[in-house]
Chains A and B, each alone.
Chain A
């Protein structure tokens, strides 16, 4: 499946680094999502964008900053992360907010 792509697939960063995760969907969808998946909490919704407007922000620390420049692209900017932020970060899209979601392969993030 190549409908939703994510880069990079793996990322190792120090706590003082700044990096960005990128997600792109080729499905013509209007909603995009960021999830965090870790062993402790299987799927945590972080942010939702619908028609390029942020409609959901689930009490995510400010060290995570999303950006949605258009309906096909979604970024997650990372800075001064903590080791407990190490997880699989999944991007998803859906035709509209609340419809079935199509996930990308994820970025495996390790914070050292």
Chain B
């Protein structure tokens, strides 16, 4: 079945440093979504990427979708303590019998030290 791997599992940074998490799928994706879960909270949708090579920005966050639509990354510039949380990627199956099935990566837990 489809697998979505996310690295690193943990990342500790000093406030002001950059942060990147990577997501790799075993199959080609129709789209990829990113979510953020604050400590004690629930996942919140951030963005969806659909096109090959797509790049989207949200303030200090930059999201990329690979040319082959099998990998993605989230980069945060100059982290702030408000960026703390777990970042999940979720890949949408491009075909097969479970169209629309969203497979979540394991998440990257980001800690920001002030």
Binding site for B on A (CB under 8 A): 1, 31, 42-43, 45, 48, 50, 55-56, 90, 92, 96-98, 100-106
Contacts and interface: CB of A to CB of B under 8 A. Distances in A.
B92 A98 contact: yes
A96 B48 CA distance: 14
Contact of B107 (A42, A50, A90): A42
Nearest to B100: A98
Interface residues of B, number: 21
Contacts of B86: 42
A96 B107 CA distance: 24
Given A98-B99, A100-B48, A101-B102, A43 B43 contact: yes
A45 to B, nearest CB: 7
B60 interface: no
Given A43-B88, A43-B107, A102 B45 contact: yes
Contact of B100 (A97, A102, A106): A97
Given A98-B92, A100-B33, A100-B48, A45 B43 contact: no
B39 to A, nearest CB: 12
Given A96-B100, A98-B99, A98-B100, A104 B42 contact: yes
B106 A42 contact: yes
Centre residue among B45, B88, B92, B106 by max chain A CB count within 10 A: B45
Contacts of A56: 98, 101
B104 interface: yes
B44 to A, nearest CB: 7
13 contacts: A42-B104, A45-B102, A45-B104, A48-B101, A55-B100, A56-B98, A56-B101, A98-B101, A100-B48, A101-B33, A103-B43, A105-B41, A106-B42
The 8 closest A-B pairs by CB, nearest first: A98-B100, A97-B100, A43-B104, A103-B42, A100-B45, A42-B107, A103-B43, A42-B106
